[in-house]
Chain A
Amino acid sequence: MSIIEVSNVSKSYGGVKANSDVSIKVEQGGITGLIGPNGSGKTTLFNSIVGYHPIDSGSIKYEGSEISHLQVQEIARLGLLRTFQQTRIYGEMNCVENMLISLPHRKMSLLETLRKNTVEDKEKAERLLEFVGLYEKRNLRSGSLSFGQQKLLEFAMALMNEPTVLLLDEPTAGINPTLINGLIDRLIRANSEFGITLFIIEHNMRVIMNMADTIYCLAHGELLASGSSEEIQNDQNVIDAYLGAH
């Protein structure tokens, strides 16, 4: 069953067509990848899904209902969460506080929010920090972490939020190459152990080939190809787009 269904979405900025007639499906419980050269409209599509701008035409469905007119926070409250390419964490708070603020507020009533965080909440926060390898840093001001560590923290915060679907915008961009394998491993575990559906935009072909079940490739705002990693790897259009775009 597909949990996100994008059908025939078009979006242009002024005269520039950023997406034209794009249709993709994100399968529940799987890992779906979205690749494409710079300027191919990946981030535009991503932002259309999470609600940062209206779309010109087409439809975006989440669990069968239309979300293309909803605001960012309404979409997030459905359990469709995103991370940012330029990470966004609360730099003034320490890591544990960042994790605690990420508790799934959407599942709480107002009265529940008027309670203090429980011991279990803190344990969960520390467990997830350990999962991403930040346990030793948990009491540090998160703004003092390196960019890669901040990215890991943002990932842990997203897991803390217990999303149904997690949309990741270039999770490995700016991360030290030696840490990338570890991150791929954690993403796969997040999918298999926590049952979170992943939808990943990635520039780095190697990363996405290693984990996604289905891959969509965009170029010049149009859907170029889709399929398993082998199919994509052998698709002449994709190869041309990647080699020809630069």
Chain B
Amino acid sequence: MDQIMGNIDLLIQFPIVNLKIILDGVMIGALFALAAYGLALVWGVMNVKNLAQGDFVIGGGYVSWWSYHNVPYFHPLLGVPVAFIVMWALGWLTYKLVISRVIERDLFTSLLATFGLAIMYAQLMNLMFGSDTQSLVLDVTGLGLENNYYFADGLIDLPAAKVIGVVLAAILATGVILFMKRSRMGQAIRATAQDARAARVLGIDTEKVYAFTFSLNSAICGAAGAIIVMVWVIQPFYGITYSIRAFVIVTAAGLGNLPGVIAAGLGIGAAEQYGSHIFGIGYQQAIAVILLLMVLIYRLVQQRRNRQVMQ
């Protein structure tokens, strides 16, 4: 308790520390928002609530990490497109083998099937890469930059890797959004999300749309994971927390609300950083989950006022 009060005191005495926490939170939150966007996409288009979301993120991280250690001259930044492509393929395979068979079924089926997938992928990664936490160091001194920038007399450090990570996340997000708006496939996806039967009547091959959407989601997650491995750490069993964060964000923002997803992502990133600053780093996972429960309760109260239930 004393320690908690002490940590809060620190925030009040050195307001600049708040800035650092918010910066950290926003940077990591941008990556949460990516995974959440993918979840919202799959949820909205094919009504599948994917609990393996976080495992795609971690999977992307391991793709980059493995390539770095096994491919000569492999630059960690290259991991982002590579993870995108590899996880695209894995997402497509997952769709064909499992997801395509649960789309028309009730929601618990898809939830449980993806939970089974999550366990399977986590165990597979555990077997292949071991259970230690892993990360990659992004060295940018070769590009004429410094690896760490310091502000406010060294109270705030801003690692270049994190800034680059956020920029990459923003580029990726912009690319996906433009794709959804401009391309024919993007239009087909949005049409299917609105009314799959009508889309089918209009000649859209919804099966193809579903496969594409799920692969795209998996690829986005993979790319996010390849960024996370440079700015944070990954571990085979961290996936579920990312899935839960994605759920928190989508539940808080609602489906089809892109600005909401971004805002909620950044907000949750910041909330988590504050939480782990105040309560200690050991509570980080717990905070992510407790945020989920808080968002659910908030939505519940909101729905009750409308005489509706959460379903």
Residue ranges of A at the interface with B (Cβ–Cβ < 8 Å):
51-54, 71-72
Contact = CB atoms under 8 A, between A and B. Distances in A.
Interface in B282-311: 304-308
Nearest to A50: B307
Given A53-B307, A54-B306, 9 more contacts: A51-B307, A52-B307, A53-B306, A53-B308, A54-B305, A54-B307, A71-B304, A71-B307, A72-B307
A77 to B, nearest CB: 15
A235 to B, nearest CB: 34
Contacts of A53: 306-308
11 contacts: A51-B307, A52-B307, A53-B306, A53-B307, A53-B308, A54-B305, A54-B306, A54-B307, A71-B304, A71-B307, A72-B307
Interface of B: 304-308
A-B pairs, top 5 by smallest CB distance, nearest first, are A54-B307, A53-B307, A51-B307, A71-B307, A54-B306
Contacts of B306: 53-54
Nearest to B304: A71
A47 to B, nearest CB: 9
Contacts of B307: 51-54, 71-72
B303 to A, nearest CB: 11
Contacts of A52: 307
Interface centre among B304, B307, B308 (most CB of A within 10 A): B307
A54 B308 CA distance: 9
Contacts of A72: 307
Contacts of A71: 304, 307
A68 to B, nearest CB: 10
A71 B307 CA distance: 6
A54 B307 CA distance: 6
A145 to B, nearest CB: 24
A51 B308 CA distance: 9
Contacts of B304: 71
Nearest to B305: A54
Nearest to A55: B307
A71 B308 CA distance: 8
